[in-house]
Structure 1
Amino acid sequence: MRSKEDLKKIIARINGKGYKAYKEIQGDYDFGGFVLYIDHVQGDPFASPSRVRLWVDMKRAGFPEELYKTSVRTTALEDFLARQAAAVIRKLPRVNGTGGSGEIYIDKGGQEILKRTAVKVCSDYVEARLSVGLPAFGRRINGGGAETLFFSNLPEIAEKALLYRNIDAESARKWVELAEDQEYLRDQLKKSRLVAFVADGSILPRESGISDRPMRGDRVVPFKSPESLKVSFELPNAGVVGGMGIPEGVTLIVGGGYHGKTTLLSALQRGVYNHIPGDGREFVITVKDAVKIRAEDGRRVEKVDISPFITNLPDGQDTRKFSTENASGSTSQAANIMEAVEIGTSLLLLDEDTCATNFMIRDARMQKLVAKEKEPITPFIDRVRQLYEELGISTVLVMGGSGDYFDMADCVIKMQDYRPYDVTEEARRIAAEIKTDRRIERTEGPISVTPRVILKEGLELRGKKKVKSRDVDTLQYGGEYIEMDYVEQLVDRSQTSAVGEIIRYAVEKYVDGGRTFKEIVEMVFADIEKYGIDVVSPFYGKHPGNLALPRPQEVAAGLNRYRGLRVK
């Protein structure tokens, strides 16, 4: 290992030379209070930034073991420190130059607390992984700027963000304890036969359509549970929290337009993740494997058994292994449900606004006009109870247009003026009084999933081997783009990056033409549990890039939408 003086001499020697001379600084340097690892040096001031790590021995960092004694606490502490580092970076003086000169970035995330590669905490050390723009004027090395970057700015981050004595210890403790309480509550749902919980006082509306921060001001209506649905939990740190429990089974969220139905469902679909203090949804908790389902016209489908919902297509296509390059609203929604069942879920979340109408309901009048033998679709209304009774898969459905679903519901919640009301008994009374004469159209027999075996053909990266997120909803995998606009529970671009790296890792290590979808995903997540999310990066052992852990459901969604996927 070289010293910081060695780095200073190299910078002085290459000052003013062509940008590629920066390659000489790659390596590791002892700065006394921390070790600087320069893992990757960019080839151009406009290229993707260089990757560096700041490593501090835990004896010097001084974080109490209590803060990282469990995996949940470790993730929360790492999240806190990444945000601490970002706050320090914002206050640093800017180094001038061309392109991204002097820029320093750490992947701090948004409103959710996710397992990330940005900071690593363990019993031996604390490490921050940063992206930096090496300073240049044109394509000539700016030695003065590089000296400021390496000998002033980076040491300040190490000093102010990675040493326990210099952070707000009380805030760190509360951050960790809140995440622990959220995870504990999520674990309690199944024991209480609930699929979700919304605490009284929660702030569900967001600041705007393009912001995930909480709405503020006098117009905000804090959530308050109906008495009939109220439950409470004793948490390890925060004590007793009370609010609305959504039971297992079939739950409808009804109400007039703009009264908060979709806002509640949106909070529930994000409730699979823990949230930061002040988000407003800290105790909006949903079972961890819940999947938001919607229609997705135009998506590719590869040999999915959609026969529980669609059979006897006019062209004679076998819907037990249905494939298409351009799915319709109904076929895409059927595929989305069956893919969710295949990878594993105990809760489906649906909003009628984003569903295919003909997939959701066929009323009595339409049944009389178009005979069942001429209609290939078995609507969701005729399978929703079967999903729960046979497979244990509950449903929460926003429904403002069809009272036929009253006959299927275990619980009906009406949103009115942004407040929830339990109207289950009223809905049952209405269903009993007003008969629809609608016939159940489902065929006999269980809902079964045919496991699919992933083939290596088409998934191996050849030629252009780039794996990169273009945004939260677009992943470049080799020469193809995987469009995940409608995978609504991806909340962070770094999760999308991780989906790509997990697919690459799975193909290299586990896809052998004999293992099923679920087996492969489970094996990768077992490796992540054992070695950390770093393990899926091709730069394992160095700066692994900016990755945040997705769920198995989002990894499967990415694979299913890749147009090169082949299965048997």
Structure 2
Amino acid sequence: MQLLEAKLHKIDRHNYRSYSSLRGEYHFVDFDFFIDITQTDPAAPASRVRARRKWSLTDLAWLKEQSLDYQRAARDFIARHFADLTQQINDIEIDRPGQAVIDRTAVVFDEDAIELRFRVNLPADGRSIIAKKTANLLTFTMPKIIRRATIARELPMEELKRHCETVEDQVALRRQLSEKGLMAFVADGSILPRLSGDSDLPMADAIPFTSPESLAIELDAPHRGKVRGMGIPKGITMIVGGGFHGKSTLLNAIENSVYDHIPGDGREYIVTDETASKIRAEDGRCVHNVDLSPYISNLPMGKDTTMFSTQNASGSTSQAAWLQESIESGAQSLLIDEDTSASNFMIRDERMQTLISKADEPITPLVDRISLLRDQLDLSILLVMGGSGDYLDVADTVIQMQNYQTLDVTEKAKEVVASHPTRRQLEGTTEISRPRTRKLNRAGLKTQLEEGKFRIQVRDKTYMRFARDYINLQALEQVADASQLHTIGWLWFQIAQGKGWEKQPAKVFSQMLNEHWFRSMPQYGDLAKPRVIEVMAVLNRMRKAEFE
């Protein structure tokens, strides 16, 4: 600490760039402090710093004996507690988690210590250094926060244990889905609606979820015990009902439950197949050599759809591409909302079939291929439908939302199908197979890094910059945190260091995202673990990416 104070005294009133001389390691009485990157300007991103405190000084060493999921939750809790302690201190900030509990680098456990990774805004008077103010921040205010965040007697231990046990419960529930023949599970008492369109907090006074008796099942959680709720079976499931009755709300809760949630979120006992991918129409996106032939063929001018590329996809083309890309990336469940889908990709009714012959229509709608996705590829599909009853012919389960209450209307749907048979013609009769695995050109990524100043920049969850390429991600609803995008950029950076074409990019990314994934990353505190599904989804939207 004395060394840090001496250095600050030496650069007092110097130009702001002189803060760079502070980079290095400093020893405090009970922790080590590292200044890794100093900001170059008062308006630049805050300086990156780390603090390491030995386990023997924390009374938290018992955490090392817990499961990896318990440890992930404990690290998440400590990061939240640190964020609460700095809420009124504008110059210290940590990567604050949202409602989901994701593996992050803001707090890291290793064999020797707890490491906190955060940012500090170094004070300035114009462009001059204020040594006294900086010394107060780094040697008085900051140490107090570090100590309070990393010692048992300063932490709300009962809350920490509940936080960790809730996460362990969700992991256990999710692991039971496959053996029970389910793609998702929604516990009774769950709160599905969110506070508002721009808030992920639970809505106050919302109607708690209750499972219909016919779909009710009990799963076992190690801490809570038996958990009763609605099991959504594998296969094709439809969610139907009138407008504003909660169809999309149920789907949104399910799509976000590929992640664990904090206690009190309302979704902490909802779990979904971790490979589930929500797809939709996305006009204007790029598509790179994707086989769309199961859904789109016989295009005008004889354009090949087995290796289809475009920089400006239509709604139907983009949704077909997303479906194929999801399967290629390892998705075993697909989530689809009619409201955000291309209508001509979803259905072609009897009258339109009569008016426009199949020979003049290049699109084979999903309704004619969906049963093959289930039967031949073993995919599960969850559909929100409010306007087309033609999917009732292929649905295994039909759930009605009525005033935010759930009804199993599968038998009633079968009666409707029997009494009102469809007269539309089946248009997709050929077998379906998994899309081929496309190769990724590593050199193409490296060229981008070499042509311009290397940057990974993220603006919330909607835009990402990699080198010179700006990637629009507004349609990717399952990106839970902007910090996942930072990690995706660094994964690309690593894969770009190899040579030639990568034959199985999704498999390589999966290997990189093992339990020790962060060890190959920079020692930054704003990284969070993404799913391979999102790594590939973002890559598929990079306009300069090269696949074959």
Q: Which has the higher mean CA deviation after the structures are superposed, 464-473 or 195-204? A: 464-473
Distance 1:382 1:5 in 2: 73
Question: Is the 8 Å Cα contact of residues 443 and 496 (structure 2) preserved in structure 1?
Answer: no
Which of the numbers 202, 210, 229 marks the counterpart of 1:243?
Answer: 229
Residue in structure 2 matched with residue 196 of structure 1 by the alignment: 184
- Which residue, out of 476, 484, 489, partners 2:473? 484
Which runs of structure 2 are paired with 1:38-117 in the superposition (5 Å)? 38-66=35-63, 69-92=66-89, 103-117=91-105
2:493: which partner in 1? 504
C-alpha contact (below 8 Å) 1:295/1:354 kept by paired residues: yes
Mapped to 2, the partners of 1:494 and 1:229 lie a distance apart of 37
1:231 aligns with 2:211: no
Amino acid at match of 1:288: E
8 Å contact kept, 1:117–1:534: no
| TM-superposed deviation, 1:545 | 4.3
Confirm or deny that 1:546 pairs with 2:526: yes
Tell me what 2:293 maps to: 307
1:161 paired to 2:149: yes
The CA distance in 2 between the partners of 1:181 and 1:200, in whole Å, is: 15
Shift of residue 123, structure 1, vs aligned partner: 3.2
Segment drifting more, 517-526 vs 169-178: 517-526
1:36 and 2:33 equivalent? yes
Q: Is the 8 A contact 2:94 2:525 kept in 1?
A: no
Partner of 2:380: 394
| Shift of residue 124, structure 1, vs aligned partner | 1.6
Structure 1 residues 335-393: Cα deviation after superposition (integer angstroms, max 9, x where no partner): 00000000111110000000000000011111111111111111001111111111111
Q: TM-score, normalised by structure 2?
A: 0.97
Aligned to 2:311: 325
Q: TM-score, normalised by structure 1?
A: 0.94
Q: Distance in 1 between matches of 2:417 and 2:198?
A: 39
Q: Is the 8 A contact 1:206 1:213 kept in 2?
A: yes
Partner residue in 2 for 1:216: 204
AA matched with 1:253? I
Question: In structure 2, how many angstroms separate the alpha carbons of the residues matched to 1:37 and 1:521?
Answer: 30
Using the alignment, how far apart are the partners of 1:109 and 1:408 within structure 2?
A: 41
- 1:171 corresponds to 2:159: yes
**Offset, 1:471:** 2.0
Aligned with residue 351 of structure 2, among 352, 365, 370 = 365
Structure 1 contact 67–73 (Cα < 8 Å) conserved = no
Is 2:544 aligned against 1:555? no
Q: CA offset at residue 522 of structure 1? A: 2.5
Structure 2 Cα separation of the partners of residues 115 and 459 of structure 1: 26
Match of 2:412 in 1: 426
The CA deviation string for residues 270-301 of structure 1, in whole angstroms up to 9 with x for no partner, is: 01000011100001110100000100000000
- Equivalent of residue 483 in structure 2, options 494, 512, 524: 494
Residues 153-204 of structure 1 show CA distances to partners (whole Å, capped at 9, x for unaligned) of 2101111001122211111111111100000100000000000000000000
* Counterpart in the other structure of 1:100: none
- SS of the equivalent of 2:74 reads helix
Structure 1 window deviating more from structure 2 (135-144 vs 435-444): it is 435-444
Q: Residue 134 of structure 1 is aligned with which of 122, 126, 132?
A: 122
Cα separation, partners in 2 of 1:532 and 1:514, compared to 1, 3 Å? closer
For 1:236-315, what aligned pairs fall within 5 Å after superposition?
236-315=222-301
Residue 408 of structure 1: aligned partner: 394
Indicate the residue corresponding to 1:532 in structure 2: 517
Percentage of pairs with the same residue = 43
Please give the alpha-carbon distance, in whole angstroms, between the structure 2 residues aligned to 1:144 and 1:522.
48
**2:458 aligned partner, one-letter code:** S
CA RMSD of aligned residues (A): 1.3
SS in 2 for 1:170: helix
Partner of 2:35, secondary structure, is strand
Corresponding position of 1:379: 365
- Contact between 1:473 and 1:496, CA under 8 Å: does it hold in 2? no
Conserved? CA contact 2:372–2:431, under 8 Å: no
Q: Is there any run of 5+ residues in structure 1 with no aligned partner, and where?
A: 95-102
Match of 1:98 in 2: none
Q: After the TM superposition, which parts of structure 1 deviate over 4 Å for at least 4 consecutive aligned residues? A: none
- In 2, are the aligned partners of 1:451 and 1:516 still within 8 Å (CA)? yes
Which letter maps to 2:225? G
Query: Which string of whole-angstrom CA distances, capped at 9 and with x for unpartnered residues, describes residues 107-133 of structure 1?
Result: 121000011110002332101101110
Q: How far does residue 456 in structure 1 lie from its aligned partner after superposition?
A: 2.4
Letter in 2 for 1:500: G
**Number of corresponding residues:** 545
